A and B are shown apart, each in its own frame.
Chain A
Amino acid sequence: MPSKQRVSIDVRALIAEYANQPVINILATDILSDPPLSMNNTTLNFLTSRLREYIKSYRYSATIRASEVKRTNLTVKDLIDLVHGKF
Chain B
Amino acid sequence: MKNIRHILLFFGLFNGVLTYSQSPNNDKVIAKKKKVGFYEWLEKKAMISVRKTFDGSSKDEGKPASFFWNKDFKNSDEEFVTVDFGIKIKELQVFSEPLLLLYPKFEWHKDGREDASKKKNDISGGVNIDFLPFTKLKMNPWFTGGADVQRDIVKELTTFKPKLFLSLFSTAQGLPGSNTTNCKHVFVLRYYPYTGIEHYKATDLTKVNATYWANRLFLEYWPITSPRQLKTYTDPVSNNDTTIALKDEKRYLQFTIDVSHRTKIEDKLFGRGNLYWLALGLNIYPDGKDKFGFGIEYTKGDDPASNFVETDKISLGIKVKL
Which residues of A come within 8 Å of B, CB atoms? 17-22, 24-25, 27-29, 35-43, 45-46, 48-50, 52-53, 63, 65-67, 70-73
Contacts and interface: CB of A to CB of B under 8 A. Distances in A.
A70 B103 CA distance: 13
Given A20-B181, A21-B185, A67 B91 contact: yes
A40 to B, nearest CB: 6
Contacts of A35: 186-187, 228, 248-251, 289-290
A40 B179 CA distance: 9
28 contacts: A17-B171, A20-B171, A20-B179, A20-B181, A20-B187, A22-B185, A24-B243, A25-B185, A28-B31, A29-B31, A35-B228, A35-B249, A38-B179, A40-B190, A43-B179, A45-B130, A45-B132, A46-B132, A46-B140, A49-B132, A50-B136, A65-B93, A66-B91, A67-B91, A70-B91, A72-B44, A73-B40, A73-B44
B177 interface: yes
Interface of B: 30-31, 34, 40, 43-44, 47, 58, 61-62, 90-91, 93, 96-99, 101, 130, 132, 135-136, 140, 142, 169, 171, 173, 177-181, 185-187, 190, 192, 227-228, 230, 243-245, 248-251, 289-290
A52 B101 contact: no
B187 A42 contact: no
A25 B179 CA distance: 15
A53 B99 CA distance: 12
A63 B96 contact: yes
B140 A38 contact: no
Given A49-B132, A71-B44, A27 B140 contact: no
A66 B101 contact: yes
Nearest to A70: B91
Minimum-distance CB pairs A-B, first 9 = A49-B135, A72-B43, A42-B58, A38-B187, A35-B249, A72-B44, A20-B179, A29-B31, A36-B249
A22 B186 CA distance: 11
B99 A48 contact: yes
Contacts of B173: 20
Nearest to A35: B249
Contacts of A18: 171, 179
A1 to B, nearest CB: 21
B153 to A, nearest CB: 30
Contact of A39 (B140, B179, B181, B251): B179
A20 B170 CA distance: 11
Contact of A25 (B130, B136, B142, B230): B230
Contacts of B136: 50
B243 to A, nearest CB: 6
Contact of B135 (A20, A21, A24, A50): A50
A73 B97 CA distance: 26
